[in-house]
């Protein structure tokens, strides 16, 4: 172990740290050098989701000290950015272990630095924190959460005054301020209680009222108000608002999964509280089958992601992936905006570069601009901010189950998404009733097939390779270097015609040799575009010790009867691509 790591660890033995922390660090020094190295070999950094990591002692762990130092760095930066102003911050937290503790510590540090602090008195969804920043006209905001990560994790998402997560240059500048803090002694921890204001239900009311303005099909809901919906919060914050908003939208038949209603940071009924994983929705699916429900909705612990399940034509529940749900939602929004005469050429939708091209195809058909941004919803928020007053954001999202409509919130919003997905289901079922085109209970599934018939059968897949610790991080770096040095020339039976290197800001046409700029901020991402529309994207995760491979392919669906065969063909093509990159 390096002397540098040992020296960093020994700093945590001084009396500025509590006795339990000092004892744990000393034990690691004496007994577990490997864990000591993992805990201190680096400082936690802001990635696509902010500060996130395993809870424990050390500079590379989430604890009251790393939270306090991060908050002090944030305070220092804000005081330099807004000299002389009365600064304000909003703070929320989720159901994870220690979240309330970390939120309180964050509030105390803010107050000690003279900030007016709006601290939620109970756990609340992340998107409501984004809304609260704008509602109270704060300069910044923090939500304590690790989103969908396992129970060992926690995190600290930082937001700017527009309600969006940090983007350049603020993210890097704050990191510099945090790094300038040499220890807990540099933190101003003398809390001023009178500056910490408790946020109760007034923000709930304002937030839900704004969401109600985004409803597009109240008549369909009225006719389908008894739509049977099974909802699970996966022991998270969604239970506080999702059922309530569904009821306010007009739905009367909402069933929750009782075993998962209670917020619990240990997530006792699931291995991982991630709605992207089928196992997380197992109890909800079981209840839906027992109740013969129409729709299953499941949100992650901080309620910014939602997974759904619908009935197929064999009357079985199937889980839709994030690309499918996102495509349906964008189609629904654009279709209804068009039907209501609201499209005038000044609207746009947005997605990330790893999200299905189907969304762009749908938007082009409706003559609505579709913008592609880097992975991370903060870039969609930044786009909304940059286009404010010029173009109106209709909706959009990312393949990782995060969606947004309207601009009241500047982060992905599973509370709103639950209501709009339910409304979309009611609308599809209502149209089926009117047209006798499909069985009502399977309307959303058949709507998806209709979208494929009209716009092309796009299918996506994801391969995540976990590479833990310092060695894993180094291996991921080597893999990315190899892809840059020797990109593939052929994939999925087609020639790679474009190689996009977002880190070096280049797009190379392999046929002509012409190189142009990406037009996006630099990011450690490689993308290979084939002549047959197949796209493979490679990127290290910004929030987890993983390297991710995103696969997007396109087929042609000639008629409804061919759906199952073409679906299997596309699945086989994706599996073949996964084998190539499973290293």
Catalytic residues: 147
Cβ atoms within 10 Å of 23's Cβ, excluding its own: 13
Report the interhelical angle of 322-339 vs 358-365 (nearest 10°): 10
Q: How far apart are the first and last CA of the chain?
A: 29
Cβ–Cβ < 8 Å for 528, 536: yes
* Alpha carbons 88 and 500: distance in angstroms, whole number: 41
As to burial, measured by CB atoms within 10 angstroms (0-12 exposed, 13-18 middle, 19+ buried), residue 221 is: buried
Distance, C-alpha 251 to centroid of its chain: 26
Cis peptide, bond prior to residue 169, ω within 30 of zero: yes
> Number of C-alpha atoms within 13 angstroms, CB side, residue 119?
24
Cβ atoms within 10 Å of 390's Cβ, excluding its own: 8
* Alpha carbons 116 and 164: distance in angstroms, whole number: 20
* Alpha carbons 209 and 557: distance in angstroms, whole number: 41
Torsions phi, psi for 97 (to 5 deg)? -60, 135
The tokens describing 278, both together, are: 């089928």
Report the interhelical angle of 443-455 vs 414-435 (nearest 10°): 90
Q: Under 8 Å CB-to-CB from 282, ≥6 apart: which residues?
A: none
């Amino acid at each position: 172990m390096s002397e540098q790591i040992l020296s960093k660890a020994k700093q945590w033995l001084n009396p500025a740290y509590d006795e339990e922390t000092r004892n744990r660090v000393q034990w690691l020094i004496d007994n577990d050098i490997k864990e000591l190295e993992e805990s201190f070999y680096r400082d936690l950094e802001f990635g696509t989701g902010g500060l996130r990591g395993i809870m424990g002692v050390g500079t590379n762990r989430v604890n009251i000290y790393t939270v306090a130092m991060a908050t002090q760095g944030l305070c220092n930066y804000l005081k330099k950015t807004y000299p002389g102003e009365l600064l304000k911050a909003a703070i929320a937290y989720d159901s994870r272990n220690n979240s309330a503790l970390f939120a309180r510590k964050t509030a105390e540090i803010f107050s000690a630095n003279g900030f007016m602090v709006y601290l939620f008195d109970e756990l609340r969804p992340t998107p409501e924190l984004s809304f609260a920043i704008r509602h109270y006209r704060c300069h910044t905001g923090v939500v304590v959460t690790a989103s969908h990560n396992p129970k060992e994790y926690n995190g600290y998402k930082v937001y700017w005054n527009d309600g969006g997560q940090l983007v350049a240059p603020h993210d890097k500048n704050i990191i510099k301020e945090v790094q300038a803090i040499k220890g807990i002694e540099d933190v101003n921890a003398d809390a001023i209680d009178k500056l910490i204001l408790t946020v109760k239900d007034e923000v709930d009311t304002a937030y839900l009222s704004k969401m109600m303005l985004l409803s597009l099909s109240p008549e369909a809901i009225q006719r389908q108000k008894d739509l049977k919906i099974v909802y699970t919060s996966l022991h998270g914050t969604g239970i506080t608002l999702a059922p309530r908003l569904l009821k306010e939208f007009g739905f009367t038949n909402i069933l929750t999964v009782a075993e998962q209603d209670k917020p619990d940071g240990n997530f006792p009924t699931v291995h991982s509280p991630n709605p992207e994983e089928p196992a997380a929705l197992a109890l909800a699916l079981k209840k839906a089958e027992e109740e013969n429900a129409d729709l299953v909705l499941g949100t992650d612990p901080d309620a910014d992601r939602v997974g759904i399940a619908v009935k197929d034509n064999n009357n079985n529940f199937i889980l839709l992936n994030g690309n499918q749900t996102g495509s349906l939602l964008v189609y629904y929004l654009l279709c209804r905006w068009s039907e209501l005469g609201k499209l005038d050429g000044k609207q746009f939708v947005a997605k990330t570069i790893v999200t299905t091209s189907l969304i762009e195809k749908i938007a082009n058909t409706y003559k609505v601009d579709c913008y592609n941004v880097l992975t991370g919803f903060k870039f969609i928020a930044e786009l909304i901010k940059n286009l404010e007053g010029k173009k109106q954001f209709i909706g959009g999202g990312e393949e990782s189950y995060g969606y947004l409509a309207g601009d009241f919130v500047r982060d992905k919003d599973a509370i709103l998404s639950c209501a709009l997905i339910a409304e979309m289901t009611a609308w599809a079922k209502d149209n089926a009733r009117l047209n006798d085109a499909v069985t009502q209970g399977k309307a959303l599934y058949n709507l998806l097939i209709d979208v494929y018939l009209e716009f092309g059968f796009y299918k996506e897949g994801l391969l995540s390779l976990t590479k833990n610790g310092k060695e894993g991080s180094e291996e991921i770096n080597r893999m990315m270097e190899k892809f840059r040095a020797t990109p593939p020339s052929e994939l999925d039976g087609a020639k790679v015609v474009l190689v996009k290197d977002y880190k070096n800001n280049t797009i190379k046409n392999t046929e002509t040799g012409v190189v142009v700029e990406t037009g996006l901020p630099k990011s450690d991402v490689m993308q290979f575009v084939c002549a047959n529309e197949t796209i493979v994207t490679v990127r290290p995760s910004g929030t987890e010790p993983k390297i991710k491979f995103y696969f997007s392919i396109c087929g042609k669906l000639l008629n409804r009867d061919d759906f199952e065969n073409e679906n299997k063909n596309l699945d086989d093509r994706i599996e073949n691509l996964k084998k190539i990159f499973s290293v």
